[in-house]
């Protein structure tokens, strides 16, 4: 069976002399592993579409759950990401999150669009890198199956308070009254949210994809939002990523 998908390469393993396996995050088939024969051949027709972070159209033949490349049409290679070690290491962390969370045989057109937008921001380098990181972390995982309930206090349904609390492990918010009153919230990690911070979280979780990198926040909120997105990922996925550690080492060094 032949299928055509659009997708971005988020993993690559060499096989033999000239072939490789690619992990491709696609629009119509979710995350799939694809065999690319001759992907390393100079001048080979699949060379450009087989490089890390390449965005391309893939015509694949499918046998059972195995995919092999028939032909490719590169759309955009995000080649300039590799010009900055910060951007490149952050892109590797994004790729790890995608590989960890995404499943196959699912339609992820909208998320793929978002991933391309994030990689585009990384390549252009016009927005603060930790802003791109926080928006990616929160948007991607809320839309891949880990949507928190940020609409109102879980207990009394109040929509806004001077201070509210976000519990990453539960993905819930509480007003300060309920937070203090409830025994349930004790001994859990909680993050204080002022109205601005809560607004940022709601915006990234609930707004349309095209609005994702079009807002600005101060450095203070960028940092606080970033602490929350990292804590949320760690609490929900119950894992930590070496690529995140590497990214932080790189930032500390340069």
Q: Which residues lie near Zn ion (CB under 5 A)?
A: 153, 155-156, 158, 175, 178
Smallest CA-to-CA distance from 97 within 143, 57, 129 is with 143
CB atoms within 10 A of CB 230: 18
The answer to whether 101 and 145 have CB atoms below 8 angstroms apart is yes
Under 8 Å between Cβ of 200 and 222: no
Least distance to Zn ion, CB of residue 160, Å? 11
Cβ 171 to Zn ion shortest distance, Å: 16
| Shortest spacing between CB 190 and Zn ion, in angstroms | 13
Q: Which is nearer to Zn ion, 179 or 213 (CB)?
A: 179
Q: Strand order in 164-167's β-sheet?
A: 149-153, 172-175, 164-167, 191-193
Beta carbon nearer to Zn ion, 20 or 175: 175
Alpha carbon distance 169, 195 (integer Å): 21
Nearest approach, Cβ of 185 to Zn ion (angstroms)? Answer: 11
Angle formed at CA 39 by CA 36 and CA 72, multiple of 5 degrees? 65
**Smallest distance from Zn ion to CB 164, Å:** 8
Cβ proximity to Zn ion: between 119 and 179 the closer is 179
Between 21 and 184, CB nearer to Zn ion: 184
Q: Rounded CA gap, 135 and 111, in Å?
A: 13
Judged by beta carbon, residue 163 or residue 205, the one nearer Zn ion is: 163
């Amino acid at each position: 069976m032949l299928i055509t998908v659009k997708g971005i390469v988020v993993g690559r393993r060499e096989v033999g002399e000239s072939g490789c396996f690619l992990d491709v995050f696609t629009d119509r088939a979710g995350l799939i592993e694809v065999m690319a024969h001759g992907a390393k051949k100079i001048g080979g027709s699949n060379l450009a579409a087989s490089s890390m972070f390449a965005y391309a159209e893939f015509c694949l033949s499918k046998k059972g759950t195995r995919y092999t490349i028939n032909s490719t049409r590169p759309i955009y290679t995000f080649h300039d990401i590799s010009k900055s070690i910060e951007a490149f290491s952050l892109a590797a962390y994004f790729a790890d999150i995608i590989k960890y969370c995404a499943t196959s045989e699912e339609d992820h057109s909208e998320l793929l669009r978002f991933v391309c937008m994030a990689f585009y921001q990384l390549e252009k380098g016009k927005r603060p890198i930790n802003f791109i990181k926080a928006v990616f972390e929160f948007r991607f995982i809320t839309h891949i199956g880990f949507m928190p309930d940020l609409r109102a206090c879980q207990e009394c349904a109040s929509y806004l308070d001077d201070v509210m609390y976000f519990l990453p492990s539960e993905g819930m918010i509480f007003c300060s009254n309920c937070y203090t009153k409830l025994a349930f919230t004790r001994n859990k990690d909680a993050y204080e949210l002022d109205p601005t911070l809560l607004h940022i979280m709601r915006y990234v979780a609930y707004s349309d994809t095209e609005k994702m990198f079009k807002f600005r926040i101060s450095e203070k909120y960028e940092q606080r939002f970033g602490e929350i997105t990292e804590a949320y990922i760690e609490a929900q996925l119950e894992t930590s990523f070496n690529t995140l550690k590497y990214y932080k080492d790189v930032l500390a060094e340069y």
